[in-house]
């Protein structure tokens, strides 16, 4: 039986990757003022920047409801597919629980909690898509992807903590101190949750290269199949420097993929955020 791979919109996979691997998307909802719009198709990160600039407030997000998932799963079942659906970490959203509720009682529908976000989730999704291309069953794909989730390393360096402050994730005093000292916090995904890590200091372009070095230097445990560079409004020069640093410190990746982060990371971290995301062996 054919297997359809589906992700939610937080996986930050580019349109080119979605097309290449024939992946469907169930969007989350982004709420700005009195507007509720579908992530990625009706609202984009640029819309979020404008909204924050004009109102000083961050948007909120809402999970797809059970009906959204039910409709999507049934569409593919009726076409003769098994379904494997991938969600942002269940610690970040009720999306996973809603997808599981929708899948309950449907034969051949499997739901994966990626325990991650952005292209940390995207790495798991692409692994599932490659297994589907190899002819693996839905059950086999879910088992392999569940096993993979604990080996994904996802982290980002944030240029300004203004968005973190607006979102209630740091105090006014902490925000003032960080901005005065030009601190750039590291945000890591650990055990399915976002946690603050090392605080870098200085110009963001230099900080980003130090961060990449910290993540890759003296490592021999990284799977070289692919690595993502995922960012919000970073310059092409910065991204190219990161690509060069990756090749310098950990040469031999089969794919170094660049993606622009979607509405979820944008809402949390704001512009000038960059992360490298990869899988351990």
DSSP letters, 61-125, are EEPPPHHHHHHHHHHHHHTTEEEEEEES-TTT-SHHHHHHHHHTT-TTEEEEE-S--HHHHHHHH
Q: What is the pLDDT of residue 213?
A: 98
> Would you say residue 170 has pLDDT above 80?
no
Pairing of strands 29-32, 23-26: unpaired
> Would you say residue 129 has pLDDT above 80?
yes
Residues of the chain with CATH 3.40.50.10170: 2-149
pTM of the model: 0.93
Mean predicted lDDT score pLDDT of the chain: 91
Which token pair is 23? 């992946």
- What's the pLDDT tens digit per position in 73-123? 999 999 999 999 999 999 989 999 999 999 999 999 999 999 999 999 999
Q: What is the pLDDT of residue 182?
A: 65
> For residue 33, what pLDDT band results from cuts at 50, 70 and 90?
confident
Could you give the CA distance from residue 14 to residue 102 in angstroms, rounded to a whole number?
Answer: 26
CB count within 10 Å of CB 217 equals 11
Q: What is the pLDDT of residue 177?
A: 44
Query: Locate tokens 């980003």: which residue?
Result: 208
Query: Locate tokens 């993929």: which residue?
Result: 257
> What are the CA-CA distances from residue 150 to residues 131, 189, 218 (Å)?
18, 11, 21
User: Residue 234, by phi and psi: left (phi above 0), alpha (psi -120 to 50) or beta?
Assistant: beta
Please tell us whether the domain made up of 2-149 is placed in CATH 3.40.50.10170. yes
Cβ partners under 8 Å of residue 233, min gap 6: 45, 49, 260, 271, 272
Cβ partners under 8 Å of residue 228, min gap 6: 119, 122, 123, 257, 258, 259, 275, 276, 277, 278
| Closest alpha carbon to 260 in 246, 251, 272 | 272
- What's the pLDDT tens digit per position in 186-235? 888 999 988 878 889 888 999 999 999 999 999 999 999 999 999 998 99
Task: Specify the CATH number of the domain 152-279.
Answer: 3.30.1180.10
Could you give the CA distance from residue 70 to residue 76 in angstroms, rounded to a whole number?
Answer: 10
């Amino acid at each position: 039986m054919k297997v359809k791979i589906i992700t939610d919109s937080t996986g930050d996979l580019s349109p080119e990757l979605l097309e290449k691997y024939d992946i469907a998307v169930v969007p989350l909802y982004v709420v700005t003022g009195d507007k509720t719009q579908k992530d990625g198709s009706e609202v984009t990160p640029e819309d979020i920047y404008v909204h924050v600039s004009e109102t000083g407030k961050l948007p909120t997000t809402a999970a797809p409801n059970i009906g959204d998932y039910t409709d999507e799963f049934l569409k593919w079942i009726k076409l003769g597919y098994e379904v494997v659906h991938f969600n942002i970490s269940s610690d970040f959203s009720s999306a996973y629980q809603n997808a599981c509720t929708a899948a309950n009682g449907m034969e051949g529908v499997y739901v994966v909690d990626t325990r991650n976000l952005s292209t940390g989730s995207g790495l798991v999704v692409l692994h599932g898509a490659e297994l589907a291309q190899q002819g693996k069953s839905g059950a086999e794909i879910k088992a392999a992807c569940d096993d993979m989730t604990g080996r994904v390393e996802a982290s980002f360096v944030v240029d300004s903590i203004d968005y973190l402050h607006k979102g209630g994730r740091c105090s006014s005093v902490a925000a003032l101190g960080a901005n005065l000292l030009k601190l750039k916090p590291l945000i890591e995904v650990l055990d399915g949750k976002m946690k603050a890590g090392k605080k870098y200091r200085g110009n963001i372009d230099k900080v980003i290269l130090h961060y990449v070095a910290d993540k890759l230097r003296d490592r021999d445990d990284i799977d070289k199949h692919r690595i993502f560079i995922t960012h919000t409004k970073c310059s092409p020069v910065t991204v190219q420097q990161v690509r060069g640093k990756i090749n310098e410190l950990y040469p031999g990746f089969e794919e170094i993929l660049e993606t622009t982060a979607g509405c979820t990371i944008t809402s949390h971290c704001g512009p000038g955020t960059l992360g490298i995301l990869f899988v351990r062996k």
